[in-house]
Amino acid sequence: MVRLFSVIFVSKDLHKRLLMKHQEECKQVDFQKISLPKEGEVLEFKEYKKTERHSFVIYADFECLTRKVNTCEQNPEVSSTNRYQQMEAYSFGYQRVSIDERYEKPPVIHRGPDVIETFIDTLLEEEREIMGILSHNEPMIVNEFCLLEKSVYRTRMNTIRSDNHKIFAQTMIKKSLVPFDDKRWILDDGITTRAYGHKDNTNI
């Protein structure tokens, strides 16, 4: 459900057509408009360009026991809050994944007392290790065979995507190095390039 609240503001850049549409909709409701998807319509996330890929991600989950709490019945004529169950964590599990497979770890499972404290201490240790990895700059490896032999190299990536409210783990293979440069003209040696429109490109 999407709630659009009426807000009064003045902006010289506001499009006049959008303002008129907003005013017409505000006349038909009291203070908010409820917009629901149509029957059979599926909401889907499409703004992938606004997402940001991170070097490390930790997926974690807790398992809890539900214990009954001694309480008394509240007066239904008076507003009140009644606690009747307490969640007690007894185990956790997490897995560290990375865009670089060298730094990934197998799943970690812990069960026992002081679950929350142990989980926090473990994450702090993971943080120290990750910060140590990120503080080390590795030199970029340039594959000269890509240019000299005109070879195309592809990279395998593991991602998690949602499609029609169903979550999938998938493997993608995409081009990572290609010998063709569509922004510059590659000369006969396969390495030297010139910009299009260069004065020496008369014989090309």
User: Can you tell me the mean pLDDT for 105-122?
Assistant: 92
CA–CA distance, 23 with 79 (Å, rounded to integer)? 38
Q: What pLDDT is attached to residue 94?
A: 93
What is the rounded radius of gyration, in angstroms, for the C-alpha atoms of the chain?
Answer: 29
Q: What distances in angstroms separate CA 128 from CA 40, 109, 116, 122, 149, one per listed residue? A: 48, 20, 19, 10, 42
pTM: 0.47
CA–CA distance, 139 with 170 (Å, rounded to integer)? 29
* Model confidence pLDDT, tens digit, residues 82-91: 788 888 889 9
66 is written with which tokens? 């539900």
* Predicted confidence band of residue 119 (pLDDT cuts 50, 70, 90): very high
- Per the prediction, the chain carries an average pLDDT of 79
* Predicted confidence band of residue 13 (pLDDT cuts 50, 70, 90): low
Q: What pLDDT is attached to residue 147?
A: 63
Which of 20-34, 60-74, 151-165 has the lowest average pLDDT?
20-34
User: Can you tell me the mean pLDDT for 31-56?
Assistant: 80
* Model confidence pLDDT, tens digit, residues 146-193: 666 777 878 887 777 777 777 777 788 888 777 777 777 777 776 778
The answer on pLDDT for 75 being more than 50 is: yes
User: Can you tell me the mean pLDDT for 15-19?
Assistant: 73
The answer on pLDDT for 62 being more than 80 is: yes
Residue 92 neighbours by CB distance under 10 Å: 20
Nearest to 59 by CA among 110, 87, 98, 89: 98
Q: What pLDDT is attached to residue 146?
A: 67
